[in-house]
A = this chain, B = another copy of it.
Amino acid sequence: MNQIKAFQNIVGAENVLINNDNKIVLSTTFATNKKILGIIYPLSRKEIQRCIKLSNSLKVKIYPISTGKNIGFGGKVPTKDHCIIMDLSRMNKITDYNETLSYITVEPGVTQEQVVDFLSKNDSKLILSVTGSFKDSSIIGNCLERGNTSGPLVERAEHICNLGIVLPCGEYIKTGYGRFKNSQAKHINKYGLGPDLSGLFIQSNLGVVTELTLWLSPKLKESEILMFNTINKKQLIDTLNTVRSLKSSDVINEVFLWNDYKVSSIIQRYPFHLFEQTPLPEEWLNNFKDQYCLGAWNGSVILRSNSKLINWCRKKTSKKMLRKFVNAFIGNKDIKFILIKLLKYPIEKLLNIKLNLMLEMVKSPFFSGKSSNLSIKSLYWRKKQLSDNSSVDNPNPESDQVGFIWCDVVIPLIGEDIAKVSEKVTNIIINHSFEPTLGILCTNKRYAILVNGITYDRMVDGEDKKAMECHDSVLSYLEKSGYYPSRLGIQSMDKISKDCKSYNRVLRKLKLCLDPYDILSPGRYDFRNHWKK
């Protein structure tokens, strides 16, 4: 306890929370039992350096978080006991911005919403590629987890450079050309000269990233969204193979698909008013799908361009190639779509269907580059009642005892592979009595990420355990089949990489080299449980 007091001299007493008698319990969206020494809130890179140096001399562990919104992966909760959480949310300055070269430089506390607002205030012609996470989630936090956006720059870690890093010894370095005096290229080139160290600090515990430059993309005025659905496995396979070919020849930009369960969980909560039992009866789902005009998978393809005619050509090619395999194919600039929008009410009455989803997609954050808590809403799927403080505008799944465990997996963009894996994952999750809310994010022309979150209610006895067993079964199937996650949470850090002996030896060497007193985020992406095998 005295150890943490020493940090008061650096960051000020008001910015140190001491965990007297373990009264601070960090909770997340699944069961954890990690004890912390307290929380410190530094305000500057220099304060971080001093804290890190102090923790070396005290031999105390520091666990940095940006804003702690890593939902489904553990949030603010550390991988090991007895850490001091270093919360960087006070470091929330946008330190550089360039419209011509389309980049923005941010500190760890800068949120998605903050950048969206900043660009809007500056009348910028650029957009941020946003994620489905909270509006107030950290951009750096997401980059460092190698998160994916649903915007034009899908892979966040591909579009960053100039990382400012406090090393575990307290030294400060910049990656790429950032290390050079008066460097003109530091914001626009990742690599710099000589070995590129930046990869060492992503999904890692080898440094505290205090700043980085993120690339933005132009707002292209003639963008369009095409929507469709697929009903059976064959359709899904053919659609994904066609998407690969369309992406390869640069006809289409972003593509993502949500399964029926995922869409249902966005539209409403579990129909507990109709039946007490879980998982969801198939019959209800089928009725729901009919009512909302949904397929087993519901996809969106985005075309971005400044030219009406180019987009028209690309849409024509996309439609020609995809129409054979998909249903309800419609673009938001089609006359049919405009008519549906106008005649929504009579159509809905007449056909006894609901068209909200289709009309909502067009306004979706991914399409427009605005951050939104819409996706977070779906985490409440299994909650019978919402607490008074909770709202879609300001959701707080952790305090609302929402249960949610995340698992993302990288799969080659081959229809047969993705269909096989998603079918198997669906079965595992249903067998564990949960609903498989899956998404397929076609990251680039070579691979997709199968996004898979297990949603439950932490207030239901036994569900914490059941949900984690379900997650572990999914992970174990994936690993056995050669499909590995794209990121890990505190629930999965030790569950992968057991057999990689040489590689784990190198990771250990690097950890001991850069962090000899092991003060930084022990157990976070260092696979230390497998070091000695």
Contacts and interface: CB of A to CB of B under 8 A. Distances in A.
Interface of A: 100-103, 146, 157, 167, 171-174, 177, 179-185, 188-189, 191-204, 206, 215, 217-218, 220, 244, 248-251, 304-307, 309-310, 313-314, 317, 410-414, 417, 445-447, 479, 481-488, 496-497, 499-500, 502-503, 505-507, 509-510, 512-514, 525-527
Complex A-B, nearest 3 residue pairs according to Cβ-Cβ distance, in ascending order: A196-B199, A513-B513, A182-B482
A193 B185 contact: no
Contacts of A486: 189, 191, 193
A102 B248 contact: yes
Given A218-B249, A446-B215, A204 B194 contact: yes
B513 A185 contact: no
Copies of this protein in the assembly total 2
Contact of A446 (B188, B488, B514): B188
Given A102-B445, A482-B181, A503-B179, A199 B203 contact: no
Given A204-B194, A499-B181, A313 B309 contact: yes
A248 B306 CA distance: 10
A188 B449 CA distance: 12
Contacts of A184: 411-412, 417, 481-483
A220 B249 contact: yes
A195 B185 contact: no
Nearest to A199: B196
B180 A101 contact: no
Main secondary structure of the interface of A (DSSP, over half): loop
A475 B206 CA distance: 34
Given A200-B200, A206-B195, A502-B171, A412 B188 contact: yes
Contact of A183 (B206, B217, B414, B482): B482
Given A218-B248, A313-B310, A193 B203 contact: yes
A481 B185 CA distance: 11
Contact of A496 (B193, B306, B505): B193
A100 to B, nearest CB: 7
Contacts of A502: 171-173, 179
A89 to B, nearest CB: 24
Contacts of A200: 195-197, 199-200
B196 A488 contact: no
A504 to B, nearest CB: 9
Nearest to A309: B313
Nearest to A177: B484
Contact of A199 (B100, B185, B199, B514): B199
A204 B195 contact: yes
A495 to B, nearest CB: 11
Contacts of A411: 184-185
A173 B506 contact: yes
A168 B174 CA distance: 26
Given A182-B481, A509-B513, 14 more contacts: A100-B244, A171-B505, A172-B502, A173-B503, A177-B484, A184-B417, A184-B482, A185-B447, A191-B199, A193-B525, A194-B497, A195-B201, A217-B248, A313-B313
Contacts of A248: 102, 217-218
Nearest to A184: B482
